[in-house]
């Protein structure tokens, strides 16, 4: 248990030490956990559990965010029937896009200071709390808190997308990070289908079983929180790539 906490808290230090060389390729003097100085070949990366954990992490983070973004207009109007007009709902979608954009800059920059894994820990834990809180915000009729919850959620959706290349670099090294990132983006494609489909089908199922339009998103929000919990577990299980996956000196020179 002690080792668990020690290893968790070593990440920010490692990130901070890397920060001391922002414009150089100089590796930190003492490489820390989850920030490798070695390289993993793209074909070899696909044989590591880390690649699939990162795939799940990205997929689950994006599924939750894109599902909401795709349905934000209809959802806000149905959850606040009468108080949010179609014009205001369009403004809501625009606002979410702004937070999506800002999140990419702010969260990715934050990850340089607190570490990639810790950043995703924040995404998943805070995301679970916010998704679980959304139905309550709608129930008490607070538009401001509802908007705030979704604004932070969407900032983390953008942040997750922006931080993943750096997370990949930390785990697999720089040499093939572009190719590995390309393969990892299949997770985004899957999430792009999964998110809106989940939100739509669960909503439709709820309505067909007599749930009112305003309450039809409640279960969806709890399911999204559940997905984020799975993502959180994937992030907890992230470990450095085993040495036999690293490129040796001869391969690195080729």
Applying CB under 8 A, the residues found at the interface with another protein are: 84-85, 87-88, 90-92, 94-95, 97-98, 143-144, 147
Q: What is the DSSP string of 131-160?
A: HHHHHHHHHHT-HHHHHHHHHHHHHHHHHH
In whole angstroms, how close is the CB of 133 to another protein at the nearest point?
A: 18
Within 8 A by CB and 6+ apart from 254, the residues are: none
- Look up residue 70 and give its two tokens: 């795709």
In whole angstroms, how close is the CB of 140 to another protein at the nearest point?
A: 16
In whole angstroms, how close is the CB of 56 to another protein at the nearest point?
A: 33
Pick between residue 49 and residue 94 the one whose CB is nearest to another protein: 94
**How far is 70 from 143, CA to CA, in rounded Å?**
19
Pick between residue 48 and residue 97 the one whose CB is nearest to another protein: 97
Pick between residue 98 and residue 193 the one whose CB is nearest to another protein: 98
**How far is 65 from 70, CA to CA, in rounded Å?**
9
Within 8 A by CB and 6+ apart from 29, the residues are: 17
In whole angstroms, how close is the CB of 105 to another protein at the nearest point?
A: 12
Phi, psi at residue 246, to the nearest 5°?
-70, 150
In whole angstroms, how close is the CB of 154 to another protein at the nearest point?
A: 13
Count of beta carbons in the 10 Å neighbourhood of residue 57? 27
**How far is 234 from 5, CA to CA, in rounded Å?**
17
């Amino acid at each position: 248990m002690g080792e668990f906490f020690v290893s968790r808290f070593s990440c920010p230090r490692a990130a901070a030490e890397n920060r001391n060389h922002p414009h150089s390729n100089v590796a930190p003097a003492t490489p820390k956990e989850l920030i490798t100085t070695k390289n993993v070949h793209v074909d070899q990366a696909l044989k590591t559990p880390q690649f699939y954990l990162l795939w799940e992490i990205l997929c689950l983070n994006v599924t939750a965010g894109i599902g909401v973004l795709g349905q934000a207009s209809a959802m806000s109007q149905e959850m606040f029937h009468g108080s949010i007009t179609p014009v205001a709902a369009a403004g809501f979608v625009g606002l979410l896009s702004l937070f999506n954009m800002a999140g990419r800059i702010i969260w990715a920059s934050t990850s340089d200071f607190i570490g990639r894994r810790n950043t995703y820990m924040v995404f998943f834990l805070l995301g679970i709390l916010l998704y679980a809180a959304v139905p309550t915000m709608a129930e008490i009729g607070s538009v401001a808190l509802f908007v705030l919850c979704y604004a932070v959620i969407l900032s983390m959706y953008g942040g997750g997308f922006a931080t993943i290349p750096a997370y990949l670099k930390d785990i697999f090294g720089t040499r093939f990070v572009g190719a590995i990132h390309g393969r990892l983006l299949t997770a985004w494609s899957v999430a792009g289908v999964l998110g809106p489909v989940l939100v739509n089908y669960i909503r439709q199922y709820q309505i067909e079983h007599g749930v009112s339009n305003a309450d039809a998103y409640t279960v969806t929000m709890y399911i999204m929180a559940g997905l984020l919990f799975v993502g959180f577990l994937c992030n907890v299980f992230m470990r450095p790539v085993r040495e036999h996956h690293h490129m040796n000196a001869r391969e690195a020179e080729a």
